[in-house]
Chains A and B, each alone.
Chain A
Amino acid sequence: MASLDIQARSATTTPSPGVREYPDVAKLIDISKCIGCKACQVACMEWNDLRDSIGENTGSYQNPPDLDAKSWTLMRFYEVEPEPNRLEWLIRKDGCMHCADPGCLAACPSPGAIVKYSNGIVDFNQEHCIGCGYCVTGCPFDIPRISQADQKAYKCSLCSDRVAVGLEPACVKTCPTGAITFGSKPDMIDYAGDRVRDLQGRGFQNAALYDPPGVGGTHVMYVLQHADRPELYGLPKDPTISPLVELWKGIAKPVAIGVMAAVGLTALFHYITRGPNAVSKEIEDDEERKAKEEQKA
């Protein structure tokens, strides 16, 4: 959104417009309050005007089975036994985490196709997307999806269009149990603290906030009953941008330019200091002599 200033822009090495500062926003998803009604999925489809194709029943409430270019958020259903013979039905609203240090943005080669607004929202500008899929390799949460229809990458925008005009994201607006809340990030951390204390008082000793520091924190956070085992919810334990992506998108770029420039300049200076490697006059004269001899003969 033009009305939001930009903190970081893909494949751009100079500053982006950013004189205005906005407070970091965050969406807090309290898994202990979620009833799996999928109202957020519906609200997301409605606000963003997306209709995913009707899928197949795979034996789970989870439908569609995975995130898609047309399904930016998805309730994931997990039947787990955190302790033996204690079944828990964990339901997690999956979607973009809006990392403070976004791997997708670091990996994207197209200037401005991915931006991080000054309020922390990470947004894809599909008109600049070239469809290379590098954002997919950059993301530690496996979120972006490339559309088969147009080969552009799509994901949750945290309703940047709504937030820009002072509204909460559509999923937050619609959640009937208050499991999803939205506000400034410090406020959401504060509120999460209350929820965590409440859960700990009810026997969930390992309840905590999921705001992984490996990606600089996220602007979508979870209250987890079992935060010591985020993998129960299909979440990575300590997500970071892959060191391979850091290498490829970090030091490799200046080193590559340096090495290529060095080789090119070495060749140039070799030429102007050593001069051309021409055939020696002696050999040339000798060959001419032989040619004349042959002609005579």
Chain B
Amino acid sequence: MKRDPRDLVRYTAGERINHWLVGISFILLGISGLALFHPAFFPFTMLFGGPTWTRILHPFLGVLMAVFFVFMFFRFLKNNLMRRIDWQWIGRINEMVDGSDETMPAQGKYNGGQKLLFWLLALCMLLLIPSGVVLWQAYFDFPIEARRWAAVIHSAAAVVMICLIFVHVYAAIWVKGTIRSMWYGTVTRAWARQHHRNWYEEVTKP
């Protein structure tokens, strides 16, 4: 949907569906995982049909997220390769946090912070998937010491990923005009010009 014919397409329907599938499975995984991690969150098991169902479902949701994440990773990989300008942008992240990003180095489709987040999330998944398989004792039988390592790695990577997603979601809420690109794929020209000047120039070139 374009509210204005001049709006810019930022995400195709396929990209949006992929992102939502990852997002939904992440939320379900986060809630069910926290329930199994800390007794304070154990009541969350009731959202999944009880504690045993939570234990059964969590790894299957993990498989779903892993698959969707791999698709999304390769879909967005090209635009997330780190360049020198991205490190310069990250070096001046304080200005972004202050809310004055228009004075920062001009950015392409993604700024340095978004690219760094992309790679950190990928790293988390790289740790979460194999450690999750090792912990999946209903179907796999790994040595006990491996399972102990997996438990520590799985929880640590999960907490880091949850925090990264907090940042990701907050950034989308904070930067007005962003969330609509996740819903129906478009942003205004003014939005693109302020936050991603190089991308704006690239897509508005006559």
Contact = CB atoms under 8 A, between A and B. Distances in A.
Interface of A: 11-13, 109-111, 128, 130-134, 136-137, 142, 146, 151, 242, 244-245, 247-248, 252-253, 256-257, 259-260, 263-264, 267, 270-271, 274-280, 283-284, 286-287, 290-291, 294
A129 to B, nearest CB: 8
25 contacts: A11-B39, A109-B37, A130-B54, A130-B55, A132-B55, A136-B144, A137-B148, A245-B148, A252-B152, A252-B156, A256-B155, A256-B159, A257-B38, A260-B163, A270-B174, A274-B99, A276-B174, A277-B99, A277-B101, A277-B175, A279-B177, A279-B190, A283-B102, A283-B193, A283-B194
Contact of B152 (A133, A248, A267, A276): A248
B40 interface: yes
Interface of B: 6, 35-40, 42, 51-52, 54-55, 97-99, 101-102, 135, 137-138, 144-145, 147-149, 151-152, 155-156, 159, 162-163, 166-167, 170, 173-177, 188-191, 193-194
Contacts of B166: 260, 263-264, 267
B88 to A, nearest CB: 20
Nearest to B177: A279
Interface SS, A side: helix
Contacts of B152: 244, 247-248, 252
Q: Which 3 residue pairs spanning A and B have beta carbons closest together?
A: A133-B137, A267-B170, A11-B39
Contacts of A276: 174-176
A130 B59 CA distance: 14
A294 B52 CA distance: 62
A172 B177 CA distance: 74
Contacts of B190: 279, 283-284, 286-287
Contacts of A294: 6
B177 to A, nearest CB: 6
Contacts of B144: 136-137, 142
A130 B188 contact: no
A109 B173 CA distance: 34
Contact of B159 (A151, A242, A259, A290): A259
B176 A252 contact: no
Nearest to A129: B52
Contacts of B51: 110, 128, 130
Contacts of A146: 137
B105 to A, nearest CB: 17
A74 to B, nearest CB: 18
Q: Which of A131, A137, A264, A286 has the most CB of B within 10 A?
A: A137
Nearest to B160: A259
B176 A279 contact: yes
A291 B36 CA distance: 54
A108 B129 CA distance: 22
